[in-house]
Amino acid sequence: HTTLLSTYDYPPRVVQFPTRDGKQVYTSEIFAQNVFSLRTLSNALPKPVYEQFVKQMRGRQVMDKNTADSVAHAVRVWAMDRGATHFTHWFQPQTESTAEKHDSFLSLKSTLGDGWEEHVPMDAFSGSQLIQSEPDASSFPSGGMRTTFEARGYTVWDTTSPMFLQSGPHGTMILYIPSIFISYNGEALDEKTVLLRSAEALSKAAVELLNVIGNDSSTVNHVYTTLGIEQEFFLVDRGLYVLRPDLKITGRTLIGAVPPKHQQMEDHYFGRMPSRAMATISEAELELLKLGVPVKTRHNEVAPAQFEMAPIFEDAALAVDHNLLTMEVLSKVAHRHKLKVLFHEKPFNGVNGSGKHCNWSMSTNLGENLLEPTATPESNTKFLLCLVAVLNAVYIHGDLLRAGIASASNDHRLGANEAPPGIISVFLGTHLTDVLDAIAENRPIIRSSIPHVEHIKVGGTTLDVKISTMPEISRDLTDRNRTSPFAFTGNKFEFRAVGSKQSPSFPVTVLNAAVASSIREITAALRKQQGDKLSLTEDDKMSVIKEYIIKTKNIRFEGDNYSDAWVKEAESRGLPNIKKSLDAFTKLLEPVHAGMLTQNGIFTESELHSRYHILLEKYTKDILIEASTLRSIIMTKVLPAAYEFRKSLAEGIKALNDIGAAAPEENVLEQTAPAVRNLQAQIALLADNIAKVSAIRDAKDAARAVQEELLPVMEDVRVSADFMEELVDDKIWPLPKYSELLFT
């Protein structure tokens, strides 16, 4: 392709790292340069006003007018000094992306001059503008919660997430105000409101548990959920990307034969990054650092052209904001490098898909990680109680976690032999498994299960690599299992089944909620165990721990999650294997999960129904759009290419026959005939089914029909088209192939 040639020669764009006095500045100096931090605010405000602000923020209280006006003034001056012309509430509707609506700081002040009203231009930003805004919300998904006549929606500043500046047009800046998005009646219309509620519920439950087991409530008064989000993605050449309507419209290739070489050599993973990818990722990192996103890790992933970025973990709500920013900045920067980022879970058939691994833990306001096993987890009852609380949460609400990660696009990944399957189980590693089993069976721990234990360090053991020049290497007390959807990795859980494209908010919300509820159940069990006694003994705690180890045993699995043996075993254990999104969505409304979510105040009944509807509708629309796109590509690109190819073959054959020469091309001509006929028939069927499905009114019926009547036909079309791709002359084939997309 000609575009391919043009981008092959494209010299990588180089962005200079910021310097001072000719010397490169330290990364830590760049960090949060464009963030209106608490420290900046405290420098800008009189002390009593600042203290009032912090008090209201921490207590999640309504902000008084004076404080709000002062903060607004301070942030406007700060922002305008840095070139800002506009501000925007920045929020997260249920669309997988963020939303913004810009307003300028300009206002017209009316005064009376000579008995006539005059308008004097000035810059202003009031407390009420800072706190609340009213975008016309009627075009955001609401799952039927709002009718058009009460389409009001409000965005409200989330004071816990700091404001920041991003570039606007012609060198200006825009002030971003992280916000929640609620309806006229105060119901959540977004991803963030429910996440904040779930974090609050978890904090309350965990603090109570800590109090019951004897923690000092005057010092530990908050428990954060910590979240570190690993983001996987593909980078492809933009010149090739624009030639693929399927990639442009649906984010994935709907057809395309797997090339002879893809990932089987395993030579891409952790290899040296191609220079254009490196230039893109490091420029994105630079912008993200300025935005206060603590980007830390970058590396090649398993598939060719696949990469990963990961930040240092933060408080969950902030980590989610930062993940969404990461995706946006990466897309923007890639454009400058003539690349396109693909966040889809499965852009290429037969090649590894992408995930968004959510590393999750709980940490007190004093910074103690409650899932830190320490050197002696077997006697660390605080750790064990928190651990069994998570196990119990997954045991009871595994289906809900599955619902949290369900989408049309993640269906292509989950259950395929590369990603965690539709069965939710927990991996703990040999050592912790031994610890838990030993407690359950009243037996000593078999320490020999860890090889080479010499001296135990806090949180890990020392490995002997038998090379004298190597330093001592410490090893986590847990090993790794990359096939598990929910794995304990040292001092946190890694929820690996989350989709690369989706907002991490909903999966983390349901996880927080399930754990909060489970902690409350365990706290109640401890109280019962305590009875009339003044406090709990270690034995009391152990007996509750033991009860929950035994109860939740079925959810633990240490083996290969991709194997058929596990599918069978899970079935015999009674663990559900939910392969398709539709079956996962319905779990949201099951009493055990819906009841938990409403009783813990995470969702109201109508918010939950609304979410269910939005998920269903999105699923249906996603697949309908894919089906229509596929049909159009086949009709307007693939079939015409096949016809042209056949025509040139026929002409060649005729010419050869005319001079009496043999024409083995006839074989190819014959081979393509049934393939063309197949494609024509499949496309006709697809068109019929698209029409049929589009006419269905009921959301659930429509989603079911889409799953049953479009997906299988699309699969058949793909087989025929890919067969054709391997026959037709490369010069005629109208779409860039996998080998070009993945190896440019």
CB of 200 to ligand ADP, least distance (A): 18
Pair 269, 301: CB distance under 8 Å = yes
Q: Among residues 190, 230, 232, 283, which is the contact residue for Mg ion, using CB under 5 A?
A: 230
In angstroms, rounded to a whole number, what is the distance separating the alpha carbons of residues 68 and 65? 5
Binding string, 694-733, against ligand ADP, x = CB under 6 A?
A: ----------------------------------------
Nearer CB in complex with ligand ADP: 70/323: 323
DSSP 226-255: EEEEEEEEEEEEHHHHTT-HHHHHHSS-SS
Phi/psi of residue 218, each to 5°? -80, -20
**Which region among 256-264, 308-316, 505-513, 683-691 touches ligand ADP (by CB under 6 A)?**
308-316
61 binds, among ligand ADP, Mg ion, none (CB under 5 to 8 A by kind): none
Exactly one of 153, 228, 353, 415 binds ligand ADP (CB under 6 A); that residue is 228
Three-class SS of residue 315?
strand
| Beta strand 223-237 pairing with 306-311 | antiparallel
- Chain residues 470-489 in contact with ligand ADP, contact rule CB under 6 A: 489
Identify residue 81 by its one-letter amino acid code. D
Copy the structure tokens of residue 446: 């078999």
Q: Say whether residue 193 binds ligand ADP (CB under 6 A).
A: no
The residue among 283 and 372 lying less far from ligand ADP, judged by its C-beta, is 372
Own/partner long-range contacts of 526-534 (Cβ < 8 Å, ≥24 apart)? 526/209, 526/212, 526/213, 526/385, 527/212, 530/212
Query: Using the rule CB under 6 A, is 166 a contact of ligand ADP?
Result: no
| Residue facing Mg ion at closest CB distance | 230
Residues 6+ apart with CB under 8 A from 46: 70
Helices and strands per DSSP (H, E), number in the chain = 24, 23
Residue 361 contact, options Mg ion, ligand ADP, none, Cβ 5-8 Å cut-off depending on partner type: ligand ADP
The tokens for 294 are: 């603590």
* Residue 226 sits in the site that holds ligand ADP (CB under 6 A): yes
Q: With contact defined as beta carbons under 8 Å apart, do 229 and 295 qualify?
A: no
**Is 310 one of the binding residues for ligand ADP (CB under 6 A)?**
yes
Residue whose pair of structure tokens reads 């779990």 in the numeric block = 587
- Residue 1 or 298 with smaller CB distance to ligand ADP: 298
Q: Which does 311 bind (CB under 5 to 8 A by kind): Mg ion, ligand ADP, none?
A: ligand ADP
Q: What is the DSSP string of 371-401?
A: T---S-GGG-HHHHHHHHHHHHHHHHHHHHH
Task: Output the smallest distance, CB 308 to ligand ADP, in A.
Answer: 7
Q: How many residues bind Mg ion (CB under 5 A)?
A: 1
Taking CB under 6 A as the rule, does residue 364 contact ligand ADP? no
CB of 629 to Mg ion, least distance (A): 32
DSSP string, 197-210: HHHHHHHHHHHHHH
Instruction: Decide whether 209 or 229 has the Cβ nearer to ligand ADP.
Output: 229
The residue range among 94-102, 355-363, 460-468, 675-683 that interacts with ligand ADP, by the rule CB under 6 A, is: 355-363
Q: Does 491 bind ligand ADP (CB under 6 A)?
A: yes
The residue to which tokens 């590393």 are assigned: 359
DSSP, res 225: E
Which of the choices ligand ADP, Mg ion, none does residue 603 contact, using the CB cut-off of 5 to 8 A by kind?
A: none
* Spatial contact of 386 and 370, defined as CB atoms under 8 Å apart: yes
Cβ closer to ligand ADP: 143 or 504?
504
Residues from 49 through 108 that contact ligand ADP (CB under 6 A): none
* Cβ distance to ligand ADP smaller for residue 181 or 313: 313
Decide: is 297 part of the binding site for ligand ADP (CB under 6 A): yes
| Chain-centre distance for alpha carbon 59 | 29
**107 vs 604: CA distance, rounded Å:** 39
Residues within the interface to ligand ADP (CB under 6 A) = 226-228, 230, 297, 310-313, 359-361, 369, 489, 491-492, 494
